[in-house]
Amino acid sequence: MTATGSSYDVVQEKAEALASGLPALLVAAERLAATVSLGVHGRRRAGMGETFWQFRRYQPHDAASAIDWRQSARSQHLFVREREWEAAEAVWFWRDSSASMEFCSRWATTAKIERASLLLLALAALLARGGEKIALLGEHAEPSLGRAALRRIAFGLAHLKADALPPQSTIRRHAQLVWFSDFLAPIDDIARLMQRFTAAGVAGHMVHIVDPAEEDFPYVGRTRFEGPQHHGSQILGRAETIRPAYQARFAAHGAAIADLARKEGWTYLRHRTDRPAQMALIALYAHIGGDLISMKGT
């Protein structure tokens, strides 16, 4: 068997293993979505719909016809009657599938790629319930509604190529991109992609997945560190001696990723795999513009 054939078989085996776990993953994701929010009715935002949302103070750029004179007569200020946007926007997802995402230390409850997949599908389930169009980058399918779209995303996750960075796909303006990764790819490459998406009018959300051992570096004594796949290994006689320098470097890298998000106007959420998934999902859904979420059973 050639090296190329062998590599293909390994990829195929991984894809089949992931696909075999899809039903359980979907069940877990939908259960997580249910514990976080029951009866989600969509993300409320101002727009051209017919459903009343709220009153707000009049601004100089508002048209005079937008003023609600009855409400304004009750106060010393002018008020505008805002309506809820009823047209669904597309929300795209990307999950880093590189080798580093498969890392799971003994201090974690799950591998980074498994937690990212769970959060992605749970968020997709919440948005699908709210009438949002959802899709996975790297697939040819356009954003669509309902459980069929959720299942398509789940299937796509099992067959994503082992890429750290999302493809340079064309996404329509005003769409949103939710990017799950450990962001260990070269920071310049990450920055260029973010700038390209921002220039195209896409709103971005970064979900930084971290294993506790990556941040805490709890290793003591003689320790062997192995790189992903064929990246070699290194043995340290006293691993604890490099802990302060390592932690400082890891923290600086995370701060640089967060700073990129701030500069591009994206949201940034950092999540450790030893922490409850519910809290991360709540924060992430709020970033995307959800209503106040009621929790049950968390």
Average pLDDT over residues 14-25: 54
For position 251, which CATH number holds? 3.40.50
Rounded to two decimals, the pTM is 0.71
Q: What is the pLDDT of residue 176?
A: 92
Q: How many Å separate Cα 182 from the centre of its chain? A: 11
In a domain, 8, yes or no: yes
Q: What is the pLDDT of residue 131?
A: 79
277, 280, 115, 185: CA torsion to nearest 10: -160
The residue with greater pLDDT, 174 or 12, is 174
State which residues form the domain around 25.
3-42+87-288
In a domain, 199, yes or no: yes
Q: What is the pLDDT of residue 260?
A: 95
Q: What is the pLDDT of residue 86?
A: 39
Pair (121, 52) in one structural domain: no
Report whether pLDDT(42) > 50: no
Split at pLDDT 50, 70, 90, the class of 209 is very high
In a domain, 270, yes or no: yes
Pair (70, 108) in one structural domain: no
Pair (206, 192) in one structural domain: yes
Q: What span, in angstroms and rounded, lies between the C-alpha atoms of 263 and 203?
A: 12
Q: What is the pLDDT of residue 39?
A: 39
Both tokens assigned to 99: 């080798």
Which 8-state DSSP code applies to residue 151? H
Q: Which helix (H) or strand (E) covers residue 32, if one does?
A: helix 22-36
Q: What is the pLDDT of residue 48?
A: 40
User: What pLDDT digit, counting tens, does each position of 158-173 carry?
Assistant: 877 778 898 877 788 8
Split at pLDDT 50, 70, 90, the class of 8 is very low
Side-chain half-sphere exposure of 189, counting CA atoms within 13 A = 10
Check: CB of residue 86 under 8 Å from CB of residue 43.
no
In a domain, 295, yes or no: no
Pair (176, 71) in one structural domain: no
Pair (21, 155) in one structural domain: yes
Pair (69, 197) in one structural domain: no
Q: What span, in angstroms and rounded, lies between the C-alpha atoms of 146 and 160?
A: 21
Report whether pLDDT(244) > 50: yes
Pair (247, 281) in one structural domain: yes
Pair (68, 107) in one structural domain: no
Split at pLDDT 50, 70, 90, the class of 292 is very low
Pair (174, 188) in one structural domain: yes
Pair (113, 232) in one structural domain: yes
Q: What is the pLDDT of residue 219?
A: 84
Task: Characterize the bridge pairing of strands 79-84 and 46-57.
Answer: antiparallel
The mean of the pLDDT values for the chain is 78
Coil vs helix vs strand at 150:
helix
Domain boundary among 31, 61, 84: 84
Place of tokens 């929790």: 295
Q: What span, in angstroms and rounded, lies between the C-alpha atoms of 185 and 194?
A: 13
Q: What are phi and psi of 5, to 5 degrees?
A: -65, -40
Both tokens assigned to 84: 């809820």
Q: How many Å separate Cα 38 from the centre of its chain? A: 21
Report whether pLDDT(298) > 80: no
In a domain, 181, yes or no: yes
Number of folded domains that form the chain: 2
> pLDDT exceeding 90 applies to what percent of the chain?
32
User: What pLDDT digit, counting tens, does each position of 79-93 carry?
Assistant: 887 654 434 468 999
72-104: burial string, b at 16+ Cβ within 10 Å, e else: beeeeebbbbbebbeebbbbbbbbbbbebbebb
Pair (15, 74) in one structural domain: no
Pair (166, 247) in one structural domain: yes
Average pLDDT over residues 49-65: 67
